[in-house]
Amino acid sequence: MVGIIMGSDSDLPVMEQAEAVLKEFGVPYELDVMSAHRSPDRVREWVSTARDRGLKVIIAGAGMSAHLAGVVAAHTTLPVIGVPLASGALNGVDALYSTVNMPPGVPVATVAVDGARNAGILAVQILATSDASLAAKLEDFKKKMAAKVEERSKKHRRSTL
Ligand code: RP5
C-alpha cells in the first residue's frame, strides 16, 4: 500500500527507517531504488503503474539536487511524501530546498532532512483516514510515546523549591 523509493542504494540506511515503521504497523509496502536523473524512464514507468499495483501513498527519498519526489508527484495523483537526504557537500540543505519548494499544483509533503521515520508515520496516518484498525494502532503509538516521556520526566525532574 506504500511505495518507498530512493535515488541510490547509499540512501538505504536512512530510508529503511520508513520501512521499519511500515513493518511496525503491519502495512504492506514496496521498496526500490531508482533515480530521477540516472534512470528517469524507470521512475516514470514505476510511478505510472503505482495506483494499479495498489499503492496509496508514495515515499520518495533523495539527496543532493533531489528531484525524485517532485518528478514522482508530477506523474501521479497519489500523495507523495519527500525525504530530503543529507548526502553531498551541502549536507541535505540542497535536497531540502529541491524537495520542499514545489510549484503550486504539484505538492510534495516534505519531512525533515533524513526524516524517513516521520515519512513512514505520515504514510500510516494518511492510510488511517480510511482504516479504523490503523487509526487505533496510531492512538496506541501516541500513548506509548507519551508514557516514555513521562518515564524520562520522572527520572530527571528536579526542583530546589
Ligand atoms: C542522489 O545522489 C541519491 O539520492 C543520493 O543521495 C546521492 C548520491 O548517490 P550515489 O552517488 O551514492 O549513488 O541522487
- Name every residue whose Cβ is closer than 8 Å to that of residue 96 and which is 6 or more positions away in sequence: 84, 110, 113
pLDDT tens digits, 51-96: 999 999 999 999 999 999 999 999 999 999 999 999 999 999 999 9
Task: Tell me, yes or no, whether 161 lies in a domain.
Answer: no
Residue 148 in domain:
no
Q: In this structure, are residues 157 and 149 in contact, taking their beta carbons and an 8 Å threshold? A: no
87: domain CATH number? 3.40.50.1970
Residue 41 CA to ligand 1 center (angstroms) comes to 17
First to last CA, the chain: 53
Q: Which residues of the chain have pLDDT under 50?
A: none
Q: Phi and psi dihedrals of 106, rounded to 5?
A: -130, 75
**Cell 508514557 sits at which residue?**
147
Report whether residue 87 contacts ligand 1, using a CB cutoff of 6 Å.
yes
**Residues 80, 74: contact at Cβ < 8 Å?**
no
Residue 20 belongs to what domain range? 2-131
pLDDT of residue 72: 98
Where do the H-state alpha helices sit in 26-131?
A: 40-48, 68-74, 93-100, 116-128
| Nearest atom, ligand 1, residue 6 CA | 4
On whether residue 6 sits in a domain, the answer given is yes
pTM confidence score: 0.97
Verify whether ligand 1 is closer than 6 Å to residue 99 (CB atom). Answer: no
Phi, psi angles (nearest 5°) of residue 129 = -65, -20
Whether 116 maps to a domain, the answer reads: yes
Q: Which atom of ligand 1 is nearest to the CA of 37?
A: 14
Counting from 1 in the atom list of ligand 1, the atom nearest the Cα of 61 is 4
Q: What is the number of domains present in the chain?
A: 1
Q: Specify the pairing of strand 109-110 against strand 80-85.
A: parallel
Expressed in angstroms and rounded, the spacing between residue 87 Cα and the centre of ligand 1 is 7
